[in-house]
């Protein structure tokens, strides 16, 4: 080995040794810094909740309402009591003539349309002759409809029983009444004879003979 090769190798070894020394010194300085410098304490972060605190849990005490303090000699004015609005809807399960008008939820009843008896071809004050054809519609509890002609004294001079409908809606009926004109007028009378003898859904139309 000549002198020039020895110098080159010595130079390379010196560079490597210097690099190792720098790494050792850097590591030592870092450990000393961590030992003497304490990290700053982290501050707790407050989290705002948007959910209202429940006030109706068991055992909760109601908070009294703070109102205006009455002056000496003045009585506090009580708060007005709200009046519930009246409802025009019949109560659930209401019946008329044995027919459910507004069925209870979950029951087997059906909602009924056009309950009762109506006469279609005879109006109040009409002049009629015998035989009299009567057309109408009925939706009654037992489907029975009695149609009569009464004189001025209220006596029955003609009567027939016909069948209407019971249930969902009214259906048409027709009958013919023959009578003697022993008075100047009277009434066309129709009703539903109930099973206990009552007359339901009565219709009375004044007529002339």
Residue that wins the pLDDT comparison between 73 and 114: 114
Structure confidence at residue 198 (pLDDT): 93
Confidence of residue 85 (pLDDT cuts 50, 70, 90): low
What whole-number distance in Å separates Cα of residue 99 and Cα of residue 166? 8
**Residue 23 DSSP SS3:** helix
Which domains occur in the chain, in start order? 116-208 (2.60.40.2550)
Residue of 121, 180, 189 whose CA lies nearest to 159:
189
The overall pTM is greater than 0.75: no
The secondary element (H helix, E strand) that includes residue 10 is: helix 3-36
Cα 68 from chain centroid (whole Å): 39
Digit-coded pLDDT (tens) for 41-68: 555 555 554 555 455 545 555 554 545 5
- Locate all alpha helices (DSSP H) within the chain, ordered by sequence: 3-36
DSSP state of 127: B
Structure confidence at residue 112 (pLDDT): 67
| CB 134, CB 121: distance < 8 Å | yes
DSSP state of 152: T
Is residue 108 predicted with pLDDT exceeding 70?
no
């Amino acid at each position: 080995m000549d002198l020039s090769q020895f110098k080159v190798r010595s130079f390379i070894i010196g560079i490597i040794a210097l690099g190792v020394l720098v790494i050792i010194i850097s590591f030592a300085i870092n450990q000393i810094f961590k030992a003497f410098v304490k990290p700053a304490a982290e501050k707790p972060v407050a989290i705002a909740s948007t959910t209202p605190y429940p006030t109706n849990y068991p055992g909760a005490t109601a908070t009294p309402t703070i109102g205006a303090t009455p002056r000496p000699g003045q009585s506090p004015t009580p708060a007005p009591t709200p009046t519930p609005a009246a409802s025009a809807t019949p109560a659930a399960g209401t019946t008329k003539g044995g027919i459910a008008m507004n069925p209870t939820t979950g029951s087997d009843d059906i909602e009924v349309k056009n309950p009762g008896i109506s006469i279609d071809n005879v109006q109040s004050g009409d002049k009629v002759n015998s035989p009299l054809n009567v057309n109408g519609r009925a939706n009654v509890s037992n489907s029975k409809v009695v149609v009569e002609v009464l004189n001025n004294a209220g006596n029955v001079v003609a009567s027939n029983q016909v069948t209407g409908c019971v249930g969902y809606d009214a259906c048409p009926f027709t009958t013919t009444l023959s009578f003697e004109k022993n008075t100047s007028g009277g009434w066309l009378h129709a009703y539903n004879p109930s099973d206990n003898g009552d007359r339901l859904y009565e219709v009375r139309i004044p007529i002339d003979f």
